Amino acid sequence: MKHTIATLTLLGAALSAHAQVQFTNGNKLLRFFNGSEVEVTYAMGCVIAVVDTQSGTTVCVPESTEVGQITDVVKRELTRLPEYRHMDADVMVRSILKATYPCASKKRTPGGTSL
């Protein structure tokens, strides 16, 4: 019974975190990146949540990559692609990270990120 309660608690926390990212679009995420320290921390958390859920499947970030580097890439692409910022933040972040840190053996050229 304790195991079931613990599992349901963790599942609820995970779904809650996903729902928060899902209801944040690219415009809001970019505003958070340019906002207060609390908002920047929230934006970074959104990005890292996507990295954690996609790591090894669609996104393969090199071990030596720092969190700030990953979030810088996402912020740059959100700024560069205003026509897509109405999309859910998790969709945008996943697309950006997949293009920047693909798991396939082929490497993209610098500056070649696209949605």
The CATH number of whichever domain residue 47 belongs to comes to 1.10.890.40
Residue 40 domain-assigned?
A: yes
Angle between helices 26-33 and 37-54 (to 10 degrees): 130
Tell me which amino acid residue 48 is: I
In the chain, the number of structural domains is: 1
Contacts of 53 (CB under 8 A, 6+ apart): 18
**Residue 115 located in a structural domain:** no
pLDDT band at 6 (very low <50, low <70, confident <90, very high): very low
* 105 within domain boundaries: no
**How far apart are alpha carbons 81 and 45 in whole angstroms?**
21
Q: Is residue 77 part of a domain?
A: yes
C-alpha span between 60 and 83 (Å, rounded)? 26
88 pLDDT above the threshold of 70:
yes
**Confidence band, pLDDT 50/70/90 cuts, at residue 15:** very low
Higher-scoring residue by pLDDT: 12, 50: 50
Task: Identify whether 108 is part of a domain.
Answer: no
Has residue 110 been placed in a domain? Answer: no
Task: Out of 1-5, 55-59, 81-85, 107-111, give the one with best mean pLDDT.
Answer: 81-85
Write out the residue range of the structural domain in which residue 33 sits.
2-100
Give the per-residue SS3 of 102-115.
CCCCCCCCCCCCCC
- The chain-wide mean pLDDT, for the chain, equals 81
User: Is 30 within the bounds of a domain?
Assistant: yes
Residue 111, domain member (yes or no)? no
Global pTM reads: 0.70
